[in-house]
Structure 1
Amino acid sequence: MTLPTDAPASTYTVFASGPEGGFFVEKTLELPTLGRNDVAISIICCSVCYTDTMIATQAEGQIAGHECIGRVDFKGEDVTNIEIGDIVGLGYIRSTCLQCSFCLSGQEHMCPKIKTFVDGIGGFANASIWDSRFVYKIPESIEPRHAGPLTCAGASVFGALYGYNVSPTSTVGVVGLGGLGHLAIKFSKAWGCKVVAISSTREKEQDAYAFGAHEFIYTKDPITTSTKMDYIINTVAGDLPWGVFVNLLESNGTLINMGVCPKDTMEIPYIPVLFKQLRVVGSLVAPRHVVKKMFDFAALHNIRPEIEELEMSTKGCREACRRVIEQRARYRVVLNVPERLAL
């Protein structure tokens, strides 16, 4: 791969969504010319987020993937924060304007001109070009296969804890024990909180305790716990029994929603929200300075996602997305670029 700024683009391999949902096609494309602030990255691995499955099944030709790790091979002339040879992570955000009030106040994930991984080459590929200002050096103590899920899932749950000022004396409930939920338990435990896992899957109870939960609530049984929670982090993508979660909150408690609900409305009981002074909020990924703090925190506290590994191929991409959609992933699926495609 040779990418001087004025040179012709090189070819790379992608795994794009095929004509039928859930299928993938291997293609060879031209890598765009390197911009002044860009880095060219040889991808090592990419884990699969639920958002990727939504993108991959929407239309033919989509190149999903935004939890990827790679090696910097070339950089633009204005790049100062990244060096050639660095192992870096790419996340949900590709770039922002860096000039609006949100960007200037460290909230670039709220930028109205935000560009995400779908606005270019996603991580289901063996190479990509990314704005270096949204690329993160990976601590040497974290392996690429474990770092991938942290770039989005880890950053998102850490961003919720950090952004809503969760204290180490708080009791935190985590709804859902999937890719985000299991990391929310691990980060909350390392944060110093009492952690309550809330799940509709009884088989995940022992996993929840292994991840650091202090209590497990199985939502298909009558809920008898006396524990009240200061925060509940919802990681489930779906319409849920919101009244149950509201009743589990302590006065002045906060329900933080991270899962993508298919409905435009939430049926929240009004009286407890009023008399207990509750907050119902959302949390979307994380700004750059928080992502950097997350990697430092994960390295310090040895926080690693639980992963399954597959080869990045048409078959591997299809199987990974299927496991995520069917909620069979334990707990994040990582696609490794095979030797035949390594750059």
Structure 2
Amino acid sequence: MDYTLTEDQEQLRRLVEDFVTREVKPYWEKHGYEDFPWPLFRKLGELGLAAIPFPTEYGGGGLDYSSYITVLEELTRLGSHLGSVLSVHGLPQLIINHFGTETQKQKYLPAMARAELLGAFALTEPHAGSDAANINTRAELRGDKYLLRGQKIWITHGGEADVYIVMAVTEKGKGARGVSSFVVEKGTPGLAFGKRERPMGLPHHTREVFFEDCEIPRGNLIGREGEGFKVAMTALDSGRITVAATSIGTAQQAFDHALRYSTERKAFGKAIGDFQGIQFMLADMAAGIEAARLVMKKAAWLRDRGLPFNLEASMAKLLATDTSMKVTTDAVQIYGGYGTSEDYPVQALMREAKIGQIVEGTNQIQRMIIARELLKKLRQ
């Protein structure tokens, strides 16, 4: 396993750095964070960054997951707020690519790769977050159509996305084996959205999604009936690696700010970075980031080679998000009172870091997955 970036990955990293410097930061300064950044999203497609790990035959980059996480981390490290957009957009792409029919792939993947269509993943419900198999949204087959009824919450890109991958119950009483997955397009009668939620520290566009007798063609079923839970969990295994990447990017950004500030801020006649107490904090922050990054890279490396990676993906997500929370909190501490001010960057990073411990399966769920896999290996 090579820990250095390949030549192609380094070129991707430089492409991202140039894009963020020349276009992303000026865009945010001019327009703010209220509206979804459609021009920036479209530009991701133009640059070939909107479908990095997906097949070239459907417009993707045909690159590996290791290259994908390099881009996600760099987008986040540079403060573009596009790493999470790309990560969420990638979940429906992954599902359609892995489980969709050829017709579905041809219809959606090329347009998503060009960033002409934005994707969203709709699983969570008011009473089914970590208990994903307990969803209540129903899909009833009537002739050659399905009728969807129910509600989803905390759906990133809700109201903005063009393509929603929706999990719904097709056979009641069978638990996870009664869940199926569907494509629902924006504009479908019966598809409605709630008010925009505002997660702390994040410019995400997140809404409730309602299905009020929402009628979709039978051909919008992904895979077979009863496979929806497997579809969702397969996507989340990969999604956990991408959450690790964006969380590490957030942590690295906060560390870079704190390290620089420690050389600028003077106290007791010298830079605070000359005090051992601050040095120990910086050392722990750097070591934590590097450790999480290496586990993330291993998870991606295993995935790229077709090897089991769900254990490492959960470890990467757990370590990266916990590390990001600690590093951003310590960055605020190093800044002192200034760290709590909105005029300085680290307070926003601390608030952004928190969501990573919750999405794609809470970190308590990750610990359950890790323990289960360890015990399974022992018994085998």
| TM-score (normalizing by structure 1) | 0.25
More helix by share: 2
Higher relative strand content:
1
The structure with the largest alpha-carbon Rg is: 2
Q: Which has the higher contact order (CA 8 A, sep 6+)?
A: 1
